[in-house]
Amino acid sequence: MNSKALVLFSGGQDSATCLAWALERYAHVETIAFNYGQRHAVELQCRLEMMAQLRSGFPAWAERLGPDHLLDLSVLGQISDTALTQDQAITMQANGLPNTFVPGRNLLFFNFAAAVAYRRGLQVLVGGMCETDYSGYPDCRDNTLKALQVALSLGLDSPMVIETPLMWVDKAGTWALAQSLGGWPLMDLIIEHTHTCYLGDRSTRHAWGYGCGQCPACDLRRTGFETFTGQAPQP
Ligand code: ZN
């Protein structure tokens, strides 16, 4: 509880749940996000609204929620040619990964986050990476992040812990975790203010939130929500 954490908060469902998890667990929590020319840049607007709503709706968490950091990583758009940063259809590549994969994206994110954390005196980095029902991105793997934790701690000559509370949790479990942390008030905020859709579509509001309803990210979010609400009592 005395540790201070930096949450990689993109404005999506997973990282919003991680933010709530960190606010419940650490004495001081700061947030960081990266602008890299993502097609779903709308999530960067969602995250500001989500933080404002957390501050007004959860006073105990508001006391612990510190500054937000937004870093410009537009260089990532220059070195990747993927369906996340370019206007092209989401398909499977020959290597078995969807073409939404930005090579090494999370490695870069954690390096920059660690530099900010070091400067700010924060000892824990929290990310929403998950191996359970993820798209196969190798930089989301538990072993990748454990290796990175060692490299960062050595390279900074200061212990830097990487926490990934969703690593072994599926999408239904992520909804259940949010419900256990903040009840339906937090669920409502996540449904209304977080963004998951790869295409940045917020024109249609579904029971599980906004999105095109078709892309892999929407599909995971919807399926997880339907599984969770099939098990949990409604408000
Ligand atoms: Zn979508």
Domains and CATH numbers, the chain: 4-194 (3.40.50.620)
How remote is the CA of residue 214 from the centroid of ligand 1, in Å? 5
Low-confidence ranges of the chain (pLDDT < 50): none
For the chain, the straight-line distance linking the first and the last C-alpha, in angstroms and rounded, comes to 31
Residue 74 DSSP one-character state: T
Q: What pLDDT, on the 0 to 100 scale, is given for residue 39?
A: 62
Q: DSSP alpha helices (H): ranges in 142-215? A: 142-156, 171-193
| pLDDT at residue 19, as a whole number | 98
- CA–centroid distance, 196 to ligand 1, in Å, is 7
pLDDT of 125 reads 98
Q: Give ion ligand 1 contacts, CB < 5 A.
A: 197, 199, 211-212, 215, 218
* pLDDT (0 to 100) of residue 197: 87
Q: What distance in angstroms lies between residue 150's CA and the mean position of ligand 1's atoms?
A: 35
Tell me the β-bridge partners of 28: 4
pLDDT in tens, 39-50: 667 878 889 999
